Amino acid sequence: MKIHKEGRVFLVVLLLVLALVNFLLTEYTKLSSEWLTTAIGVSSLFLIFFVQFFRSPKRKTEMNKGQIIAPADGKVVVIEKTKESEYFKDQERIQISIFMSPLNVHVNRNPVTGLIKYFKYHPGKYLVAWHPKSSTENERTTLVYEVRKGVEILVRQIAGALARRIKCYVEADQAVIQGKEFGFIKFGSRVDLFLPLDCEVKVNMGDKTTGGKTVIAEFPDL
């Protein structure tokens, strides 16, 4: 297990701040030993929480061009047919949404191997990630992967009420590999996928997903 690069400086600063606070409490207050022990315990739990949030486990993806794998750890909260307006111009697609709680790994991974045909960052609101309008009104990044000519899927990183920073490491016209990291979202958030209607969905509402491992859907002829 390693710490993601997005959290390394943050964790060092947090450790120093907590150490300073506990030092000042110990040296310059009249708190009883029980209260000081409690303060140190709370600080330790606080640090452990953020360490687990920024964890970045190594995972080996079983690559399969006929499958769409989970781009994130979390819980499936939406499976429905809907119209996608930003890129597909109101064409109907299958939407699958994965909610990422603060306890999940927040690394985002490419669901397919292909070419990034479209990339756009949108500033926006910070509605809770499961709100129906979060997909179109929150801060978000939209990526479109071309698997082969005429076969495209859209992935959208969405900031939540706590997530205030989306990181994306790919750009338009870049070739990417299934399972490799493409981004990171800090704190509770959501990832939406918009798939062709003829894809066969392999997950159900409420299923837990593992980024780079769980098969979300399959293409009919790949």
User: pTM for the complete prediction?
Assistant: 0.85
Residue with tokens 């190594």: 58
pLDDT in tens, 89-105: 989 999 999 999 888 99
Residue with tokens 């400086």: 9
Number of domains in the chain: 2
Cα(94)–Cα(137) distance, integer angstroms: 20
Q: Tell me whether residue 62 is in a domain.
A: no
Both 45 and 90 in a single domain?
Answer: no
pLDDT in tens, 11-25: 999 999 999 998 888
- Which domain covers residue 11, as residue numbers? 2-56
Both 45 and 82 in a single domain?
Answer: no
Both 106 and 137 in a single domain?
Answer: yes
Of 43, 97, 135, 189, the catalytic one is 189
pLDDT band at 222, cuts 50/70/90?
A: low
- Top pLDDT among 109 and 2 is at 109
Q: Tell me whether residue 61 is in a domain.
A: no
Q: Minimal CA–CA distance to 105: which of 170, 181, 192?
A: 181
Q: What CATH number is associated with residue 192?
A: 2.70.70
Both 50 and 96 in a single domain?
Answer: no
Both 106 and 201 in a single domain?
Answer: yes
Known catalytic residue at 33: no
Both 163 and 74 in a single domain?
Answer: yes
